């Protein structure tokens, strides 16, 4: 009895040892199979990323291949639904040990699987020779064409109007509530302004050297356009600064030659910027620029209903007139002003005294052309400019006090 018990125990120990050996062998084989499957799936996913992603249930579905038939389980190289083994081929039988006494679930000593039951077909590891798991290469997505950025709508511009040198023109423009040009016809509040403008003079670096080289250190490229501007009939509350309310630049003989110049000043040298104008009072302003050659026009751009309206004011050839020495009989500036009428020289006056006055004004750069002995509007405007320079009342009448100051300044 004891002998039978010991023999049974010995046989159980032998079987358990055998089972342990088989279990280790099966684990090694399962690990090897898992590694092989991993390498195969990685290789296929590289060459066929779309189908593998759908097979594994990961990644987005490519719209271009949504309608392809799903790959059947039989094409995956596995016999069952998820395991890769047949329903009864799990390699284990029984509820607790996983092996029967003589049916260990392994065929042969070390494989645990039949020769053809490895779950793979030939050397292609579960993939058909041509099908590669029944998957076809995904159709590549076309690269979408870049959408062109729409060009901004250009600001509408009216045809330019050319104004001869010395001629006065009244223009209309619209400004926003902050006094800046109304470049867009929106619903925001705005005001309408009327300006009268006239070009007085155009002076080049030679003029500045002759007039200011002893007082200022010059760069040698100073040039300026002098013009008069009047704000007509304005009754609003805005502070009107022409520099802000109008676009003012310089242009050469052709529109492609542009010089923005500097800010408008109240003097041609050492002036003040941000000059405001008062209603119905003529103000002389100066547009300085760096001289690289004569500009042809002072371009004043106004805006009405969002439309830019350019005005090309002819500024004439630049002047290089130097001051005339006192007592110079050639210029007719010597002597006194005793022959001047009591009421002074004014519009309509004629004669040698008017010619003398005109020569003095030309030498100061406020009048262009040649003296003709006739006191007209241009001469009156030049007198006003000099009266302003001398801090005198700007009447446009050349009275005794003004003439004495003018001639003594020669």
Assigned domain for 149 exists: no
Give the model's pLDDT for residue 186.
87
Whole-prediction pTM: 0.46
Q: Determine the pLDDT at residue 407.
A: 87
pLDDT band at 119 (very low <50, low <70, confident <90, very high): very low
What's the structural domain count of the chain?
A: 3
3-state secondary structure of 385: helix
Tell me: pLDDT of 378 over 50. yes
Q: What separation in angstroms does the CA of 390 have from each of 162, 348, 384?
A: 33, 24, 10
Higher-scoring residue by pLDDT: 378, 112: 378
Residue 127 has pLDDT above 50, yes or no: no
340 with 296, same domain?
no
Q: Smallest Cα–Cα separation from 172: which of 162, 187, 182, 186? A: 182
Does any domain span residue 286?
Answer: yes
The CATH number for 165's domain is: 2.60.40.1240
At which of 314, 347, 371 does a domain end? 314
> What percent helix, strand, coil does the chain show, rounded to 5?
30, 20, 55
| Residue 24 or 154, more confident | 24
400: CATH: 1.10.101.10
pLDDT at 9: 83
pLDDT of residue 335: 45
**Res 130 pLDDT > 50:** no
Residues 287 and 339 in one domain: no
**Lowest pLDDT segment from 8-12, 65-69, 246-250:** 65-69
> Is 296 in the same domain as 367?
no
> Rounded to whole angstroms, how far apart are CA atoms 165 and 315?
6
Residue 65, domain member (yes or no): yes
Radius of gyration, alpha carbons of the chain: 51
- Residue 134 pLDDT grade (very low, low, confident, very high; cuts 50, 70, 90): very low
Domain boundary among 100, 124, 148: 124
- Could you tell me if 272 and 340 lie in one domain? no
199 and 228 fall within a common domain: yes
Higher pLDDT, 309 or 15: 309
- Reading the block at residue 156, the tokens are 């509408």
For 289, the 3-state DSSP assignment is strand
Quick one: what percent of the chain has pLDDT higher than 70? 66
Q: Let me know if residue 319 belongs to a domain.
A: no
According to DSSP, the β-strands at 190-203 and 169-176 are: antiparallel
Answer for the pair 396, 408: CB distance below 8 angstroms, yes or no. no
Positive or negative CA dihedral for 18, 23, 28, 34? Answer: positive
Residue 138 has pLDDT above 80, yes or no: no
Q: Which of 58-67, 315-324, 346-355 has the lowest mean pLDDT?
A: 58-67
Q: Give residue 87's pLDDT.
A: 42
In degrees, rounded to 5, the angle at the alpha carbon of residue 23 between the alpha carbons of residues 17 and 29 is 140
pLDDT band for position 344 (cuts 50, 70, 90): confident
Tell me, what's the pLDDT at 155? 58
SS3 label, residue 163: strand
Work out the pLDDT band at 223, boundaries 50, 70, 90.
very high
One domain for residues 236 and 91: no
Q: Same structural domain for residues 307 and 345? A: no
CA angle 222, 228, 229 (to 5 degrees): 120
142 domain residue, yes or no: no
pLDDT grade, residue 286 (50/70/90)?
very high
**How far lies 98's CA from each of 58, 91, 101, 119, 225, in Å?**
34, 8, 10, 20, 108
- The domain of 306 spans 161-314
- Does 310 lie in the same domain as 165? yes
Percent of the chain whose predicted confidence (pLDDT) is above 90: 38
Q: Are 99 and 92 contacting, i.e. CB atoms less than 8 angstroms apart?
A: yes
Asked whether residue 286 falls in the same domain as residue 174, the answer is yes
User: DSSP alpha helices (H): ranges in 346-399?
Assistant: 352-363, 377-389
Helices 400-408 and 352-363: crossing angle in degrees, nearest 10, is: 50
Q: Is the pLDDT reported for residue 64 higher than 50? A: no
In a domain, 400, yes or no: yes
User: How distant is the alpha carbon of residue 123 from its chain centre?
Assistant: 63
**23 & 69 share domain:** yes
Whether residue 268 is contained in a domain is answered as yes
Spatial contact of 112 and 26, defined as CB atoms under 8 Å apart: yes
C-alpha–C-alpha distance, residues 59 and 45, integer Å: 12
Q: How far apart are CA 385 and CA 398, in angstroms?
A: 11
Of 117, 124, 61, 121, the closest CA to residue 91 belongs to 117
Exposed, middle or buried by CB within 10 Å (0-12, 13-18, 19+), for 62?
A: middle
- Report the pLDDT value the prediction gives residue 66, as an integer from 0 to 100: 44
Instruction: Indicate whether 227 pLDDT > 70.
Output: yes
Per-residue pLDDT, 153? 53
Which residues in 159-273 belong to E strands, given as ranges? 161-163, 169-176, 190-203, 222-231, 247-251, 258-259, 264-265
Reported as a pLDDT band with limits 50, 70 and 90, residue 22 is confident
As a whole number, mean pLDDT of residues 66-90 equals: 43
Cβ atoms 112, 22 nearer than 8 A: yes
336 and 287, same structural domain? no
Sheet with 258-259, side-by-side order of all strands: 161-163, 307-314, 297-304, 247-251, 258-259
- As beta bridge partners, residue 229 has 197, 283
pLDDT, mean of residues 37-49: 71
Q: What is the pLDDT of residue 45?
A: 65
14 domain-assigned: yes
- Helix or strand or coil: residue 48? coil
169 plus 305 within the same structural domain: yes
What is the chain's mean pLDDT, rounded? 76
Secondary structure letter of residue 63 according to DSSP: G
Q: What is the pLDDT of residues 181-202, one digit of tens each?
A: 999 988 899 999 999 999 999 9
pLDDT at position 184: 92
Residue 178 has a pLDDT of 94
pLDDT of residue 2: 60
In tens, the pLDDT along 254-266 reads: 889 999 999 999 9
Average pLDDT over residues 264-293: 91
The pLDDT of residue 30 is 87
pLDDT at 144: 54
């Amino acid at each position: 009895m004891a002998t039978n018990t010991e023999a049974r125990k010995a046989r159980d120990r032998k079987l358990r040892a055998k089972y342990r050996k088989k279990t280790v062998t099966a684990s090694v084989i399962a690990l090897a199979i898992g590694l092989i499957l991993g390498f195969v799936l990685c290789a296929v996913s590289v060459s066929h990323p779309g189908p593998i992603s759908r097979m594994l249930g990961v990644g987005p579905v490519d719209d271009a291949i949504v309608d392809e038939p799903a790959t059947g389980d039989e094409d995956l190289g596995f016999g069952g639904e998820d395991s890769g083994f047949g329903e009864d081929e799990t390699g284990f039988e029984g509820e607790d040990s996983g092996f029967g006494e003589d049916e260990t679930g392994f065929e042969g000593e070390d494989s645990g699987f039949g020769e053809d039951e490895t779950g793979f077909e030939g050397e292609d590891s579960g993939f058909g020779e041509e099908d590669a798991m029944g998957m076809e290469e995904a159709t590549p997505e076309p690269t979408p064409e870049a959408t062109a950025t729409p060009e901004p709508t250009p600001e509408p511009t009216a045809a330019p109007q050319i104004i001869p040198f010395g001629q006065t023109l009244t223009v209309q423009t619209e400004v926003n509530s902050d006094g800046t040009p109304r470049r867009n016809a929106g619903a925001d509040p705005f005001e309408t302004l009327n300006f009268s403008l006239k070009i007085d003079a155009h002076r080049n670096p030679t003029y500045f050297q002759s007039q200011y080289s002893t007082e200022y250190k010059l760069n040698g490229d100073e040039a300026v356009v002098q013009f008069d501007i009047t704000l007509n009939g304005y009754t609003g509350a805005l502070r009107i600064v022409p520099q802000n309310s109008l676009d003012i630049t310089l242009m050469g003989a052709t529109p492609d030659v542009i010089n923005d110049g500097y800010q408008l000043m109240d003097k041609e040298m050492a002036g003040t910027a941000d000059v405001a104008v008062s209603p119905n009072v003529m103000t002389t302003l100066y547009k300085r620029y760096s001289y690289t050659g004569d500009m042809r026009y002072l371009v004043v751009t106004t805006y009405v209903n969002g439309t830019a309206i350019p005005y090309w004011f002819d500024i004439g050839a630049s002047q290089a007139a130097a001051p005339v020495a006192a007592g110079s009989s050639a210029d007719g500036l010597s002597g006194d002003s005793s022959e001047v009428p009591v009421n002074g020289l004014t519009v309509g006056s004629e004669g040698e005294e008017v010619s003398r006055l005109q020569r003095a004004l030309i030498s100061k750069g406020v009048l262009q052309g040649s003296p003709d002995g006739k006191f007209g509007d241009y001469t009156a405007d030049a007198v006003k400019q000099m009266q302003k320079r001398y801090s005198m009342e700007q009447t446009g009448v050349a009275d005794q006090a003004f003439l004495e100051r003018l001639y003594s300044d020669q």
